[in-house]
Chain A
Amino acid sequence: NAGVTQTPKFRVLKTGQSMTLLCAQDMNHEYMYWYRQDPGMGLRLIHYSVGEGTTAKGEVPDGYNVSRLKKQNFLLGLESAAPSQTSVYFCASSQLAGETQYFGPGTRLLVL
C-alpha cells in the first residue's frame, strides 16, 4: 500500500514551458487535492476533485489546469510556466470531505 505518490520528485523548467505533475493514490479515495507550499505561507489549495471526472478551483487556481480521468489519478498541468510558479507541490487525498487528508511526498518545481 503505497498511499499517495507523486511524479516527478524534482523538475526544472524554463519560463513558458509546459509540464504535467502526476498524483496517484491506492486508497480508493473519492477526494483529491493539489496544494502549493511557499515559505511562510503554509499550504494553499490550487484545485481539487470530489470524484472521477470532476474538478473544481481552489484558492490559487490561476495558471494551472487539472484532470481526473481515473479515480486513482489526479493530474496538475502548467501550460506556460512562470517563475512565480516555483514552489513545492503536494497532492493529497481523502475518502470524504472533512476526513483526514493523506499527503504525497511532494514535487519540487523550479521555473527559471
Chain B
Amino acid sequence: AQSVTQLDSHVSVSEGTPVLLRCNYSSSYSPSLFWYVQHPNKGLQLLLKYTSAATLVKGINGFEAEFKKSETSFHLTKPSAHMSDAAEYFCVVSPTNDYKLSFGAGTTVTVRA
C-alpha cells in the first residue's frame, strides 16, 4: 500500500523568496516519487522524478527535491519564487516499475508581487 500526504494545502510567498512544499509518503515498496505542477485550467506537467539514483533531484524551472528515506519525505524547494510559479503542485508516489500512481491532495502556491 502507498499513500502521500502534502502537509500544506496552500502556500503563499513573495516573489524572489524561497518556496518549500512539504510531502511525506508511505510505501510498502521502494518507491518512485514525482512532483507535478498544474497551472490554472491546464494539464499536469512533470517537474521532477526520483527513482533511487541521487537523493537530490533537480527539475525544471529551478525546482529541486530531496529524498529522505529516514523521514519518508520528498520536499520540493525553489530558491527564488517567480510569479509564473503560481500553480497547484502534486506530490505523487508509485512503487518502482508499477503503473499505479498515488496522488497527494495538492498544494496551491500563490506568489505575491
> Which residue of the partner chain, among B4, B44, B105, B106, contacts A103 with CB atoms under 8 Å?
B44
B105 touches A45 (CB 8 A): no
B100 at the interface (CB under 8 A from A): yes
Q: Counting CB contacts under 8 A, is B46 at the interface?
A: yes
Task: List A contacts of B99 (CB < 8 A).
Answer: 31, 33, 48, 50, 94, 97-98
Known: A33-B99, A100-B49. A42 touches B106 (CB 8 A): yes
Using known A-B contacts A40-B105, A41-B105, A42-B103, determine if residue A103 contacts B97 with beta carbons closer than 8 Å: no
Q: Which of A40, A90, A103, A104 has the most CB of B within 10 A?
A: A103
Q: Give the chain B neighbours of A94 by CB distance below 8 A.
A: 99
Q: Roughly how many angstroms separate A42 CA and B92 CA in the complex, as a whole number?
A: 9
Q: Which residues of A contact B41 (CB under 8 A)?
A: 106
Query: Nearest residue in B to A90 (C-beta to C-beta)?
Result: B43
B44 & A90 in contact (Cβ 8 Å cutoff): yes
List of A residues within 8 angstroms of B9 by Cβ: 40
Counting CB contacts under 8 A, is A87 at the interface? no
**Taking the nearest CB of chain B, how far is it from the CB of A106, in angstroms?**
6
Q: Which of A44, A45, A98, A105 contacts B43 (CB 8 A)?
A: A105
A101 to B92, CA, bound (A): 11
Chain B residues in 8 Å Cβ range of A106: 41-43
Q: Would you give 6 A-B contacts (Cβ < 8 Å), ordered by A? A: A40-B106, A90-B43, A96-B97, A98-B94, A103-B36, A103-B45
